[in-house]
A and B are shown apart, each in its own frame.
Chain A
Amino acid sequence: MPVLEVKGLKKRFGPTAVLKGIDFSLEQGEALAIIGSSGSGKTTLLRCLNFLELADDGIISVNGEVIYRGGAGSKFSDAEIRKKRLHFGLVFQNFNLFPQYTALKNVTLAGEMLAKERPDFRTRRKEILAEIEEGARALLDQVGLSDKLDFYPHQLSGGQQQRVAIARALALKPDILCFDEPTSALDPELTGEVLKVIRSLAEKNTTMVIVTHEMQFARDVSDKVLFMDDGFVVESGTPEQIFDNPREKRTRQFLERYNGN
């Protein structure tokens, strides 16, 4: 059974149809790379998975359970959406760290908020908070920032900020971790450290959806590649199929433009 299954996902903004019926599925431990030119709908797709946008139509299932059904009549309360989106984590292009908190607090904050909803929070407050902090320290260690726990975002480089953001997203243990062009806002010399962290996550079989413009990286790290154009999935398959033997003309044209540079 796939961890994530998306069927017929559609989204329009006013007169513009951005997603015109997206289907794909993802198995436990797989990394899916989504490639395609700007405006093809990649980011909107990720935003729909994370409920930052609500799809007009289509189905999103996680672990066999339908968590979202678009179309007429389906209205969700804020509380429902809040619960559903915890299946997903999202790492933004511009990091979006909270500037007034240290790296460590950025990672622990959401967990602390959620812990307050636990029935045993009152009685085990100290223990629970200590556990959350312990987990956050381990995650920051994992992304190579154990010496930056008390640094504020503005004291960190872009690459370091993005690594904190990855730790922050991992802290809530999402079923599926999404990356929205995680290196696009970084100087070229800083992309490596972020890609290395994502690569190590892939080696640990983290289920991931990665929207990226880094073709070599997509090829190395992913188990499956999805090429999007004009709101459709044009072609999907293993990295070898897509990069070495693309069947569709549009895929070939897109890749040629990249290889040309």
Chain B
Amino acid sequence: MKFLPVTLSLLEGFGISCIIFFFTLVFSLPLGLIISFGSMSRFAPLRWLTRTFVWVIRGTPLMLQLMVVYYGPGLIFGVAAFPKLTAVLIAFIINYAAYFSEIYRSGIEGVPRGQYEAGQVLGMTKSQIFFRVTLMQVIKRIVPPMANEIITLVKDTSLARVIAVMEIIMVAGTFTAKGLIWPLFYAGVFYLAFCGILTLLFNYVERKLSYFRV
């Protein structure tokens, strides 16, 4: 039985998957918010530029973007490529920021104008209205679509293998090449467990926010 060595190798690969997952989230969540402000800007050129950017990023495969980020610098500019993991993170962060920006935008635009106006006539400042009135409503609105997107991210991390980053599926594949099928299923269990935990977490957050309705 090679159960233990397979487990250790898969864990190593899963560690890479987790690194991609966490760093992508940490950077794309705030970046997405900035992009969403751009796409809602009253300054039309900025708005159109941002929306075009979001269209391109959402309209092309992440795998393609990944390859462009990794091979682009060398083939286009003749400079050194990013380290593999860095290239993966750059592509993932930009891609997910674009998706998150649309979620933020729908959440922010979904707050009825009357909520802002009620705050205004009560003499609140813009920042008071944002933090004390609309923010919670935006959060409540965006949790379900965010949960979807974040669970998709867990599985998208496997795309990193196209530039030979040894994430968990690539590791499992090395065993399959040697004639073992079960490490593939075993890799699937890691994803299932991770997504299961995330699902529980998001359910908890949704339940915490269920005391009010928007």
Query: Which residues in A have some Cβ–Cβ distance to B below 8 Å?
Result: 50-52, 78-79, 82-83, 85-86, 88-90, 92, 94, 96-101, 109-110, 113-114, 152-154, 168-169, 172
Contacts and interface: CB of A to CB of B under 8 A. Distances in A.
Contacts of B118: 92, 96-98
A79 B127 CA distance: 12
Interface residues of B, number: 23
Interface string B120-138: 1111111010001100110
B115 interface: yes
B144 interface: no
Given A52-B117, A92-B114, A154-B213, A82 B133 contact: no
Contacts of B211: 100, 152
A82 B125 contact: yes
Interface in B90-129: 112, 114-115, 117-126, 128
A94 B118 CA distance: 10
A92 B114 CA distance: 8
Given A109-B122, A154-B213, 4 more contacts: A99-B137, A99-B214, A100-B137, A152-B213
A139 to B, nearest CB: 14
B114 A172 contact: no
Interface of B: 112, 114-115, 117-126, 128, 132-133, 136-137, 140, 211-214
Contact of A98 (B115, B120, B126): B115
A113 B137 contact: no
B117 A96 contact: yes
Most buried by B among A113, A114, A152: A113
B119 to A, nearest CB: 8
A168 B122 contact: yes
B213 A172 contact: no
Nearest to B118: A96
Nearest to A91: B121
Given A52-B117, A113-B128, A154-B212, A96 B112 contact: yes
